[in-house]
Amino acid sequence: MTILLVLLLLIAAFVAAVYVHDTRQTQHTVLRNFPVIGHFRYFSETVGEFMRQYHYLPDWEERPFNRLERAWIYRTAKGISNLISFGSETTPAFIFRPAAFAVLEEEKTAWGPMRIGVAQGSGEQRPGACREPYDAPGFFNISGMSYGALSHAAVTALSRGAKMSGVWMATGEGGLATHHLEGGCDLVMQIGTAKYGVRDAQGNLSDARLREIAAHPQVRMFEVKLAQGAKPGKGGILPAAKVTAEIAAIRGIPVGEASISPNRHLDIGSIAELGAFVDRVRRVTGKPVGVKFVVGQEGFLDEWFADCAANPAHCPDYVQVDGGEGGTGAAPAPLADYVGLPITQALPLVAAARARAGLVGRIRIVASGKLVTPDKVAWALCMGADFVSAARGFMFALGCIQAMKCGSGHCPTGVTSADPKLIRGLDPTDKAVRVMHYAKRVQDEVEMIAHACGLANAGLFRAEHVTQIERGVGGFRNLGG
């Protein structure tokens, strides 16, 4: 009996020691929020590699992001080698065409920076020009995720990590928060259909608020959000439980009431009105203005870009093409699953329409929609994108485990949680470093693909450098035509 008691005491002491260790460490959010029992998750991940040999769920079957994609991001963010053994586990939809003679180290050149926006001349102001064009330092950046949808700790970590890696960060449609500014990174202020952060008491666009936001030197561009891929035709949705006093003050809405944005901007119902809105924001702020949208009708692209060519003041400085596979914290399933062209179809259409209108040097293209690994980023650059933005990739870098609880406020890793106890587990200092590692590794490995294709840098990618694999027929199709 004495031996059993001693054994029980030793077990209790061991569990207590593990509990104390887990709550004090800052590297693993799951362990901080779920001490002791959280180890079972890591144990399952460790043995899963071996158990899947016996017909358990394969690594490439999970949705919306499979384990292979997530594992690559987790390892990258932690600074762990992502070299693989015994060959590839993937069945690619496209392949890059390597050159017979790859680029040597001394032949490599730096990408960019790339200018967004047209500078004003020394004399009369040029239509569509801005006082402060933006020279973007990197081609892979953080797409819009609102404070409120993300926790304050997550936004802080992203801001710091963006600064460390030299990428921009979009605010999302929830307005500019102090947490966005804390890290010192370049920011893109997004204007959603409810105009949170730049609205007056009646909910209309406020020039005074625009000037106030533009006065922050970190705010380098403004982005008019027409739609996002996960819910085109539906405004942003922030459940009432997430609308705290701080978030309500930033957005200019009541505390504790669900934040539901209109399906579209009430003052933008035509191409002419969109152009006038872009021109107004650019004139008031003096900074480049972009438009985020989801591709539906191809004819709209030609009409829009024709108006831009004919009316330079109406021309946005960039467009962000969001694929229908884009993510969000809360969206109706029919919109998320069945509305909006995927980025694989949307991006080539936009690039072709821009070229037909003669606007290649005027409008930059930002692509987004599950472009979270180097292969997909390189593909987008080949297909005409000047930049790529990702949201969920950076969420994985923060520690997201794809628990699919973003809209509930009970995210177990604190990334999208509204519960202070869960948010406490996410340490911004540690996670900022992971964000930096991820952003830099993606850009480095995109450059590696470019060098294999015989290109000095990733800015030289063209469609002929990638080939689509035709499913079911064993053939190939050169995306370069």
Higher-pLDDT residue of 43, 339:
339
**Which of 402, 452, 380, 429 is closest to 73 using CA atoms?**
402
Beta strand 219-225 pairing with 289-293: parallel
243-263 mean pLDDT: 84
Confidence of residue 310 (pLDDT cuts 50, 70, 90): very high
- Asked if 132 and 286 touch (Cβ cutoff 8 Å), the reply is yes
398-425 mean pLDDT: 88
* Alpha helix ranges (H) inside 25-149: 29-33, 39-51, 67-77
- Asked if 381 and 366 touch (Cβ cutoff 8 Å), the reply is no
Measured at the CA of 118, the angle between CA 113 and CA 123, to 5 degrees, comes to 130
Helix 271-285 / helix 298-310 crossing angle, nearest 10 deg? 50
pLDDT at 254: 83
Confidence of residue 48 (pLDDT cuts 50, 70, 90): low
**In terms of C-beta density within 10 A (0-12 exposed, 13-18 middle, 19 or more buried), how is residue 340 classed?**
buried
Beta strands in 66-125 (DSSP E): 94-96, 114-116, 118-119
Rounded Cα distance, 177 and 171, in Å:
8
Residue with tokens 């030609």: 302
* Alpha helix ranges (H) inside 166-289: 178-182, 207-214, 245-251, 271-285
Confidence of residue 50 (pLDDT cuts 50, 70, 90): very low
Percent over 70 (pLDDT), the chain: 91
101-124 mean pLDDT: 90
**Which of 291, 238, 283, 287 is closest to 264 using CA atoms?**
291
123-147 mean pLDDT: 92
Higher-pLDDT residue of 405, 63:
405
pLDDT at 343: 95
**Most confidently predicted of 24-33, 121-130, 379-388:** 379-388
* Residue 442 pLDDT exceeds 70: yes
Q: What residue ranges do the domains of the chain occupy?
A: 2-56, 107-478
Residues 165-174 pLDDT 10s: 999 999 999 9
* Residue 123 pLDDT exceeds 70: no
Higher-pLDDT residue of 473, 240:
240
CA torsion sign for 445, 451, 455, 461 is negative
Identity of residue 474: G
End-to-end CA distance of the chain: 80
**Most confidently predicted of 240-254, 306-320, 392-406:** 306-320
Higher-pLDDT residue of 44, 321:
321
* Residue 217 pLDDT exceeds 90: yes
Q: Give Cα 119 to chain centroid, integer Å.
A: 27
CATH topology of domain 107-478: TIM Barrel (3.20.20)
- b/e per residue 397-415 (b: at least 16 CB within 10 A): bbbbbbeebbbbbebbbbb
* Residue 443 pLDDT exceeds 80: yes
Residues 271-308 pLDDT 10s: 999 999 999 999 999 999 999 999 998 899 999 999 99
**Which of 371, 438, 368 is closest to 399 using CA atoms?**
438
* Residue 319 pLDDT exceeds 50: yes
| pTM (predicted TM-score) | 0.87
* Residue 3 pLDDT exceeds 90: no
- Asked if 189 and 196 touch (Cβ cutoff 8 Å), the reply is no
pLDDT at 52: 47
Query: Minimum mean pLDDT among 75-79, 211-215, 246-250, 273-277: which range?
Result: 246-250
Higher-pLDDT residue of 44, 105:
105
* Residue 55 pLDDT exceeds 50: no
CB count in 10 Å sphere of residue 471: 9
Confidence of residue 64 (pLDDT cuts 50, 70, 90): confident
Percent over 90 (pLDDT), the chain: 62
321, containing H or E segment: strand 318-322
- Asked if 96 and 76 touch (Cβ cutoff 8 Å), the reply is no
